[in-house]
Amino acid sequence: MRTLAKHDRGQSLVEFALVIPILVALMVGIFQFSLALMAKNVMTSAAREGARVSAAGGDGEAEAYRVLNSAVIPAMVTVTPAAFEHGPVIAVVTYEFPLSVPFYRTGTISLNATATMRQEF
């Protein structure tokens, strides 16, 4: 039995070396997905705030940019005012989220958030 044990000395190290790239790629992928989900959540809040402020007669675009700047997300905001009295005000926030997962791909993911509210004044 002792002679068989001597041949297994580096087995754990070799197995760990084979598995660690997969684990690191998985961890970075989970981290990137979490950041994209957080960005989408902030974008939804920004669109909602922009539409709400614009529906109440304020500068909805500035309010949406304020929310985005609080989370340092360089997204684009478009607020479309109501075409008629008490019509819908539409706020759209778009962002190209940079994706970087090792051993897989790099690029961007398009994230969009839209909010619609009725004009109040």
What are 52's two structure tokens?
Answer: 């709400």
What are 89's two structure tokens?
Answer: 């005000």
Instruction: Please give the pLDDT value at position 56.
Output: 93
Percentage of the chain exceeding pLDDT 70: 89
Instruction: Please give the pLDDT value at position 6.
Output: 61
One-letter amino acid for residue 14 of the chain: V
Q: Pick from 121, 117, 110, 120: which is nearest to 50 by CA?
A: 117
Instruction: Please give the pLDDT value at position 1.
Output: 54
Q: What is the mean pLDDT of residues 52-74?
A: 96
Q: Is 78 helix (H, G, I), strand (E, B) or coil?
A: strand
36-55 pLDDT per residue, tens: 999 999 999 999 999 999 99
Q: Residue 90 above 90 pLDDT?
A: yes
Q: Pick from 82, 40, 86: which is nearest to 60 by CA?
A: 82
| E strand or H helix at 115 | strand 105-118
Average pLDDT score, the chain: 90
Its pTM stands at 0.82
Domain that holds residue 99: 2-118
Q: What is the mean pLDDT of residues 95-111?
A: 83
Percentage of the chain exceeding pLDDT 90: 68
Q: Residue 121 above 60 pLDDT?
A: yes
67-70-72-73 Cα dihedral, nearest 10 degrees: -10
Task: Give how many domains the chain has, as a whole number.
Answer: 1
